[in-house]
Homo-oligomer: A and B are copies of this chain.
Amino acid sequence: MRALWFRDGALCLLDQRELPGRRRVLRLRQAEEVAEAIRTMAVRGAPAIGVAAAYGMVLAQRGGRLGPDRAADLLGSTRPTAHDLFVGIETVRRAWADGEETLAAADAYRQEIVEECRRIGLAGAPRLRRASTVLTHCNAGALATVEWGTALAPIRVACERGARLTVLVDETRPLLQGSRLTAWELARDGIPHAIIVDNAAGYYLSRGEVDAVVVGADRIARNGDFANKIGTYEKAVVARENSVPFYVAAPWSTFDARCADGRSIPVEERGEEEVLSVRGVRLAPRASRARNPAFDVTPSRFVTEFFTPDGAVKPGGIARLLDRRARAG
């Protein structure tokens, strides 16, 4: 399953707002359209929006109206939290500024993300070998990452190797990435799963019915604090209260080597309509308002291990790994 691809001069995206009811492919030929698709979450998931923005830079160059810096500003202003967005943009901006082939740079970036997710699956799968129930939050699957997924990659690999897993899927209000997207991916793969409301995760954790929690991330600081979809923090706190291991799976583009800790991660607040309605049906009284933070920040002390492309790493090992990668260039 592929969430996005580039063909005939267009970035092609599965419109994630329409799933699972309708499989609609968007074909985008202008950088402005890519920016709008990211902002409105037709494409979402930190690694996937990084790849989409990389191709958005390619389309900006071809359009001829924007230079590399203005194109980077356009695409970078869409969503503030996911670090991958800025890595994807910067990768192609540098190629463009250096006079290199931008499509080749975007393709290489895409391929690197896919390959890293595959390795995340190999890194995490041994930890899930004996699990019978794994909880995940939001969608950190192929739709969020082009192929494989981050949190779903080790689950897929463990299942391929014969693990008998059931996945508890948090529905993930407000935009229901769990019940719409993660459930759709798991159903396609034939992996047993049950959707629960976000409120029910603690119930299952407290009864000893969850063996591990695996989530993705939008930005990971040097000290291991990380931002992810709103609600992740609650699951992490309740997992630790019940001594359930909590894993965070992410490619290197999600790690922000210049971010010391979670306090400096910007958290996007989105429009209140996402909370006041579901799929166009108004839920709340007309007089009521809502707040809608799209992410929260979980301190590193709640993380058992990060599943990275280079193996499973404890939070205390992140900074050293990032410095080693920086030195290696």
Which residues of A pack against B, CB within 8 Å? 20-21, 168-169, 171-174, 176, 179-180, 183-184, 186-187, 193-204, 206, 229-231, 233-234, 237-238, 241, 267, 275-276, 278-285, 287-293, 296-297
Contact = CB atoms under 8 A, between A and B. Distances in A.
Contact of A194 (B20, B179, B241, B291): B291
Copies in the complex: 2
Given A179-B284, A291-B194, A296-B206, A237 B231 contact: no
A176 B275 contact: no
A152 B64 CA distance: 60
Given A184-B288, A194-B289, A206-B296, 12 more contacts: A20-B285, A171-B284, A173-B173, A196-B291, A197-B230, A197-B231, A199-B231, A199-B296, A200-B293, A202-B234, A203-B267, A206-B233
A236 to B, nearest CB: 9
Interface centre among A168, A199, A229, A231 (most CB of B within 10 A): A199
Contacts of A21: 282
A196 B291 CA distance: 6
A288 B176 CA distance: 14
B195 A173 contact: no
Nearest to A190: B287
A195 B238 contact: no
A180 B234 contact: no
A173 B173 CA distance: 9
A100 to B, nearest CB: 41
Given A278-B281, A284-B180, A230 B195 contact: no
Contacts of A281: 278-281
Contacts of A201: 234
A287 B187 contact: yes
Contacts of A197: 173-174, 198, 230-231, 275, 292
B275 A179 contact: yes
A176 B176 CA distance: 15
Given A278-B278, A279-B278, A296 B172 contact: no
Contacts of A287: 187
A176 B283 contact: yes
Contact of A173 (B199, B238, B276, B291): B199
